[in-house]
Structure 1
Amino acid sequence: MRFSYPVVVALALTAIVSPTASAATCTWTSTNLPLPAGLTQGVVRAADSLSGYAGEAQTSGGTVHAVRWVGGQAVDYGTVPGYSHAFVSGVNKSGTIVGHTSATTGNHQRAFRSVGTALQVLPEPAGAQHSWANGVNDAGDIVGEVGSNVTSGGSTYLVRTAVLWPASAPGTVVKLGGLPSTGQTLGQAVDQDGTVLVEYYPTITNSIDATALYLWKAGSARVLPTPSGTTSVYGEAISNGRVAGAINAGGMVGAVWEQDGSITKPVASNLITSINRTGQTTGWKIVTGLTAAHWVWQGTAKVGTLSGQRTFEVSADNGTVAGYSWNSTTFSQPAFWRCS
């Protein structure tokens, strides 16, 4: 299950060392990122392995464009021809942006990647009605899932299957083998070594609660351990062998699967949404109703203090975190935060 917020450039950044637990007294300060001409609000969704970001920004009419920020420049990638919205999920150091579209008419979701500054749809297997690209690594491997309509018991369900668009075979799409053959699988993210994080749903009728997380690589998969009593799991990100997400065992708790398979739980978290190569994470905890407080952790400890209205979407490898802020006049302003 992908948790996200509605919908947005990156200023040049010097190298920043990721905060550690010893930096617990630091203060996170924000820097707003400019929007391309004609776009009114936005959000950072992803960061590359250097110092760039990518995300979305929208026009006053509500059309959503893909945007990349790097070297002090805001680059408007626009939309896929024939589609009204481009929702971004990943970017690599070469500037390849991936995500999915929605159609100007109808409800067809289509995975895309950027070629230069243009967006192009990715191929779908025969029989697929929808596709989503959820992540890309620096090698150019893209992961996601495709969806096909299946009728069972008189009802029609959208059944999703994890796929890879391999950099070694441009223009092709491969369903991931070595995973359970029943239910549904979602390709959530891909590590730099090609390891794919997969959520597994045991039935075609339930697209809400995954019951297992798998790490897939080169045709084989292994399941991640979960505590006794776990009823559902969430896999959001993978970096340097660590997986970020949550465990539901009588309550939803943020979790990180370490490189050895052990599980750590960042204090006061319900979901860990992003992790960088040093293990710095971002995520949130429900405070009341639908109101969530967003934080940064290193290991299990919160890092520093935060103020203002903000949402964190990504923990970048340069040590910053990024997402958007808002106030009474601006619904969403793309921004990054630095620990100092």
Structure 2
Amino acid sequence: MRFRYPVTIALVLAAISSPTASAATCTWTPTILPLPAGMTTGTVYAADSGGGYAGVASGDGATSHAVRWSGGTATDYGTVPGYGPYVSVKGVNRNGVVVGSTSAATGNRQRAFRSVGTALQALPEPAGANHSWATAVNDNGDVVGNIGADVTIGGSSYLVNTAVLWPANAPGTVVELTAGLPTTGQTIARGVDQDGTVLVEHFPTTTSFLDADVLHLWRAGSARALPAPSGASSVAGNAISNGRVAGGSTVLGDLSATVWEPNGTIVKPAAADYTTSVNRTGQTVGWKAGPSLNMTYSVWQGTTKVGTYSGRWGLTASADNGTVAGWNRTAANSPNQPAYYRCL
């Protein structure tokens, strides 16, 4: 079963070491990030390799803007001209390139975007694509994601996905990742490492993309499959960093957080259902579902939970400088505020 969830302003983001299991007694302490003018709520969804973050912010609930935070300053990237009022941010690199997807002004058509300067631009799609999503970007500027085509199979309509790469060295082009990957079913690219390795989920049929059966690491036209945990009926990959993959797997109907080490070894963070992000040292963030699907968010190094937090937080990103980021609330019903955390 798949899940996708989906103070004082610091003026300097100092580089810090990633917490380890020896930091189990530290406390994750928030720094609230500023919001652009007119915005009242926001969430960080991605971190770059240089101490910056990216996410979305909203002021009236009728729109959402892409935002980048660097050095304690918020830059409003707005929305994609000609498209709808909402954007979803999935990645950012140290050069400030933000990627994600937006919807058409009418209907449910999705379109991948990347930023150029501080403006958002739709990414190209190959002929026949009805939808596209960008899911990650590396420091070189390579963007990955997937395209979707609405097809009719047996009298029913389905959205069939194919993993794609928008290469930095060939602006204005899009490459479908088919070489080295299975020729049946469908694929989605979930992450891209700094060396260009793409994390790809494979789904066994063209009629469903709810449960992936294999994760692949694709690079330069060849791919290798990652081993699945024993008895796993499905796997999920959410991020890749320094050869390490964060995600989850389902065994006998139970979801559990799963991390694949660079050598393929499988690590299971303690008391976790899902990991959503990993940094270059292997620090992961994720959650465990409680009653009514209330999420308890935590940080792990390997199998061990790192630090404690007693307030209201949600975590989406594990940054290379050792911070983690997402949102913070001062009260149960207060709006989300974009925030990053250090373990002190």
Q: Indicate the TM-score class for this superposition, using the shorter chain for normalisation.
A: over 0.9
CA distance in structure 2 between the aligned counterparts of 1:63 and 1:105, rounded to whole angstroms: 14
Distance 1:249 1:11, change over 3 A: farther
TM-score (norm 2): 0.96
Aligned CA-pair RMSD: 1.2
Partner of 2:193: 191
Deviation per CA, 1:228-279: give whole Å up to 9, x if none.
3110001000000000001111111101100110001000000011000000
Q: Which amino acid aligns with 1:301?
A: T
Please give the alpha-carbon distance, in whole angstroms, between the structure 2 residues aligned to 1:116 and 1:313: 24
AA aligned opposite 2:119: A
The residue aligned with 2:59 is 59
- Looking at structure 2, the residues matched to 191 and 307 of structure 1 have their Cα atoms a distance apart, in angstroms, of 33
Q: Bigger shift: 184-193 or 219-228?
A: 219-228
1:183-262 alignment runs, 5 A limit: 183-250=185-252, 251-262=254-265
Query: Does 2:335 match 1:331?
Result: yes
Regions of 4+ moved over 3 Å: none
**Counterpart for residue 75 of structure 1:** 75
Note closer, same or farther for the CA distance 1:118–1:2 as it changes in structure 2 (3 Å cut).
farther
Aligned-partner Cα distance in 1 for 2:241–2:11: 24
Query: What amino acid sits opposite 2:168 in the alignment?
Result: A
Is the 1:11–1:69 Cα contact (8 Å) retained in structure 2? Answer: no
Instruction: In structure 1, list runs of 5 or more residues that go unmatched.
Output: none
1:156 equivalent to 2:153? Answer no
Gaps of 5+ in 2: none
Look up the equivalent residue of 2:336 and give its one-letter code. S
Match of 2:321? 318
2:127 aligns to what?
A: 126
1:39 counterpart = 2:63: no
Q: Which amino acid aligns with 2:246?
A: A
Q: Which amino acid in 2 is paired with 1:222?
A: R
Partner of 2:273: 270
Task: Percent identity, please.
Answer: 63
Give the whole-Å Cα distance in 2 for the aligned partners of 1:133 and 1:224. Answer: 23
TM-score normalised by the chain length of structure 1: 0.97
Q: Which amino acid is 2:50 matched to? A: L
Relative to structure 1, is the Cα distance of residues 215 and 31 closer, same or farther in structure 2, using a 3 angstrom cutoff?
same
Contact 2:33–2:72, Cα closer than 8 Å, also in 1: no
Q: What's the CA shift for 1:66?
A: 0.2
**Matched position secondary structure for 2:86:** strand
Conserved 8 A contact 2:67-2:75 = yes
Offset of residue 11 of structure 1: 4.6
The 2-side partners of 1:70 and 1:10 are apart by 10
